[in-house]
Amino acid sequence: MENLNSHRTAKERDKMSFPTRILLERDFLLGEILDFGCGFGKDVEELKDKGLNVVGYDPHYQPDYPQKQFDTIICHYVLNVLKNQEQAKVLFEVSRLLKFGGKAYFSVRRDIKKTGFRTHFVHKVPTYQTNVLLPFISIFKNDNVEIYEYQHYCFLSQNQKEISPFFEKLEPREQVGELASCFAFRDKFPVSKGHTLVIPKRLVSNYFDLSFKEQSACWFLVNLVRSEISKEHKPDGFNIGININESAGQTVFHCHIHIIPRYKNDVENPRGGVRGVLPNNKDY
């Protein structure tokens, strides 16, 4: 069943939500703040009244998509009403909208007894709900809600070569997306404008040693990143590739997928594409 009514779960509050109160009391709401999935916007209103620099975004109720990055992002009760791929897209978008070194806070319900569709008691339409566990630091939990703190994987992993050889000498500040089990950043030595790498978080050299779930997550992220590159750089094509083992050109032994945007006339004769890894066999 399609999840068409997730927005129907938004509540018309008369006061600030509980997770936002917790974050406010702990002085975690810093700098420029985004309420991602703000619903009708009561938290935004209350925080503005307290002098905080905050804006809200909700695809149904406040649909002007943010055009910059933020120091702090809050995302309350959004993931619980989304299916897995929808959840992944929210994680990706929050990652993109967060400044390097900033923090995001995801609040999820802990009182859901059964996953699936139910008839909304007010709107009388099918709405989805599910429990959510995230691989981030839990900073608060009771019987009703858990709050997770998120920072970019690249920020947390700087200079830690035991996590990945990518972090030994490079400092990949341009993280452009993240899911629970993989992340993406701009190649430090790009062969074209927008050249990006998608990398599993688990340190595995050979792509074929990844689990099917990890492979699927990487390709889902490839699709999301490709869409953003298309919007930003408007390439005329793409090469997508993986180097596996030294004989195939692999130099960094942490599996990674290259997303290489291609532009008209960037080479004299593009015919054959990836066949060019063996130049003498490119033409046919």
Model confidence pLDDT, tens digit, residues 238-283: 999 999 999 999 999 999 999 999 999 999 888 888 888 888 877 7
> β-strands 70-76, 98-109: how paired?
parallel
Residue 279 maps to a domain:
no
The domain total for the chain is: 2
* Same-domain pairing of 267 and 194: yes
Give the Cα separation of 10 and 254 in Å (integer): 42
Domain end (from 103, 123, 151): 151
Catalytic residues: 256
- Beta strand ranges found along 224-276 (DSSP E): 237-241, 257-262
> Is the CB of residue 33 less than 8 Å from the CB of residue 65?
no
Model confidence pLDDT, tens digit, residues 14-40: 899 999 999 999 999 999 999 999 999
* Same-domain pairing of 58 and 80: yes
* Same-domain pairing of 56 and 127: yes
Q: Which helix (H) or strand (E) holds 129?
A: strand 126-129
pTM: 0.93
* Same-domain pairing of 78 and 181: no
* Same-domain pairing of 174 and 124: no
Reading the block at residue 213, the tokens are: 């779930």
CATH number of the domain residue 11 falls in: 3.40.50.150
Model confidence pLDDT, tens digit, residues 109-159: 999 988 989 888 788 898 899 999 999 999 999 999 999 999 999 999 988
Residue 156 maps to a domain:
no
> Is the CB of residue 130 less than 8 Å from the CB of residue 147?
no
* Same-domain pairing of 32 and 69: yes
Look up the domain containing 252 and give its range.
Answer: 164-274
Residue 109 maps to a domain:
yes
- The percentage of residues in the chain with a pLDDT greater than 70, rounded to a whole number, is 98
Residue 74 maps to a domain:
yes
* Same-domain pairing of 54 and 78: yes
Confidence of residue 232 (pLDDT cuts 50, 70, 90): very high
> Is the CB of residue 109 less than 8 Å from the CB of residue 75?
no
Residue 159 maps to a domain:
no
Domain end (from 151, 175, 206): 151
Q: What is the pLDDT of residue 4?
A: 83
Domain end (from 116, 151, 186): 151
* Same-domain pairing of 206 and 132: no
CATH number of the domain residue 246 falls in: 3.30.428.10
Residue 39 maps to a domain:
yes
* Same-domain pairing of 183 and 121: no
